[in-house]
């Protein structure tokens, strides 16, 4: 019987937050993994994810088709995880999430490889958000090139290295007040490990070909409820100051140039105006984590395992403080 070691999986964007979890999940299933990234010299930390020689990192940039074709040569399956939350220089939403997705899909089709593409809940060609429109364009290009591709649309993801829960926990450590943008906007936070498991399942052949899955956690929470949960986990009492979308967008015109956790773009504000939850249609069709047989982990079950570092007394602070 053939072993998974006979299968080479190329992962574009494998050094990112979701990527490192996908690489680990694939290594646990004994696949050979080629990780294609722009800066391979900075991705050495992926090597311990598998056995000696199981993970190989190569250089590739989605804006250069020749590098993409070289990176996926001899691969049986290709996974595209590349995405950006904010534009910078040549790394635009269209270049990365639309044209870049098309480049990967065409190269996979030419190589006869299977394709798993990760998009996002909210991808919509008619969305006022440039990010969401580029995601939708990427999905369309992927299915045009590889009709059998499996697309995953996760809601906002959380986990040890995320830029979501860690961001608010860091802000709460520095400021006695927190701005609340879109406090009533609903989200369905999904654990990054569960998304990685779904992607690995698709590589195993357990997902439907040509289908679009929507991946959300077990709870639908408002933005206010999420931030309140983070404050509870970190033992911080902070005042939440609601901001209108208009005022938040005005401030984002300046904060888009800010560093680290203070960065906020006008497009991110636009995204917060719409709910980010699994649709009823996806639930009815079984195109969800549950449909894949995955029991999703809740935010309150996972976040305390890594957000403890933001507590004033560290890991041993009592939660009631």
Q: How many domains does the chain have?
A: 1
Q: What CATH number did the domain enclosing 24 receive?
A: 3.40.50.720
Place of tokens 């480049």: 103
pTM, whole model, 2 decimals?
A: 0.95
b/e for 186-202, b at 16 or more Cβ within 10 A?
bbbbbbbbbbbbbbbbb
The answer to whether residue 107 is domain-embedded is yes
Structural contact between residues 158 and 230, judged by C-beta atoms closer than 8 angstroms: no
Structural contact between residues 290 and 284, judged by C-beta atoms closer than 8 angstroms: no
Separation of CA 39 from chain center: 19
The answer to whether residue 315 is domain-embedded is no
The answer to whether residue 32 is domain-embedded is yes
The answer to whether residue 137 is domain-embedded is yes
Distance CA 167, CA 178 (A): 11
pLDDT of residue 321: 39
b/e for 203-242, b at 16 or more Cβ within 10 A?
beeebeeebbbbbbbbbbbbbebbbbbbbebbbbebeeee
Cβ contacts of 17 within 8 Å, gap of 6 or more: 157, 159, 161, 162, 163, 192
**Structural domain for 126, as ranges:** 4-148
The answer to whether residue 157 is domain-embedded is no
Retrieve residue 107's tokens.
């190269």
The answer to whether residue 46 is domain-embedded is yes
Q: Taking the CB of residue 25, how many other CB atoms lie within 10 A of it?
A: 21
Structural contact between residues 150 and 205, judged by C-beta atoms closer than 8 angstroms: no
User: Based on the number of CB atoms within 10 Å of its own CB, is 63 exposed (0-12), middle (13-18) or buried (19 or more)?
Assistant: middle
Structural contact between residues 118 and 150, judged by C-beta atoms closer than 8 angstroms: no
Angle between helices 100-111 and 130-145 (to 10 degrees): 10
Structural contact between residues 72 and 113, judged by C-beta atoms closer than 8 angstroms: yes
The answer to whether residue 126 is domain-embedded is yes
In the chain, the N- to C-terminal Cα span, in Å, equals 56
pLDDT of residue 317: 62
pLDDT by residue for the chain (321 residues), tens digit each?
Answer: 468 989 999 999 999 999 999 999 999 999 999 999 999 999 999 999 999 999 999 999 999 999 999 999 999 999 999 999 999 999 999 999 999 999 999 999 999 999 999 999 999 999 999 999 999 999 999 999 999 999 999 999 999 999 999 999 999 999 999 999 999 999 999 999 999 999 999 999 999 999 999 999 999 999 999 999 999 999 999 999 999 999 999 999 999 999 888 999 999 999 999 999 999 999 999 999 999 999 999 999 999 999 999 998 766 665 543
């Amino acid at each position: 019987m053939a072993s998974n070691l006979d299968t080479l999986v190329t992962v574009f964007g494998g050094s990112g937050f979701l990527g490192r979890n996908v690489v680990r999940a694939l290594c646990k299933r004994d696949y050979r993994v080629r990780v294609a990234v722009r800066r391979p010299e900075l991705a050495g930390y992926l090597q311990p994810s598998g056995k000696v020689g199981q993970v190989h990192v190569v250089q590739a940039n989605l804006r250069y088709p020749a590098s993409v074709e070289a990176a996926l040569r001899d691969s049986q399956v290709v996974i595209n995880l590349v995405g950006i939350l904010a534009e910078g220089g040549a790394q635009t939403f269209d270049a990365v999430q639309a044209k870049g997705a098309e480049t990967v899909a065409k190269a996979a089709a030419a190589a006869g490889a299977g394709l798993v593409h990760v998009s996002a809940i909210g991808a919509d060609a008619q969305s006022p958000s440039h990010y969401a429109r580029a995601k939708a364009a990427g999905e369309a290009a992927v299915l045009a090139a590889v009709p059998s591709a499996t697309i995953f649309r996760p809601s906002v993801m959380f986990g040890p290295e995320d830029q979501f829960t860690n961001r608010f926990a860091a802000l709460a450590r520095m400021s006695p007040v927190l701005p609340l943008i879109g406090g009533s906007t609903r989200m369905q936070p999904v654990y990054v490990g569960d998304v990685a498991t779904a992607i690995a399942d698709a590589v195993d052949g357990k997902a439907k070909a040509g289908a679009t899955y929507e991946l959300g956690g077990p709870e639908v929470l408002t933005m206010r409820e999420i931030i309140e949960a983070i404050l509870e986990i970190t033992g911080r009492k902070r005042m939440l100051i609601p901001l209108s979308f208009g005022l938040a967008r005005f401030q984002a015109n300046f904060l888009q140039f800010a560093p680290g956790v203070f960065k906020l773009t006008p497009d991110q504000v636009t995204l917060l105006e719409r709910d980010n939850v699994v649709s009823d249609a996806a639930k009815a069709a079984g195109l969800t984590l549950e449909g894949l047989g995955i029991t999703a982990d809740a935010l309150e079950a996972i976040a305390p395992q890594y957000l403890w570092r933001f507590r004033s007394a560290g890991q041993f602070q009592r939660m009631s403080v």
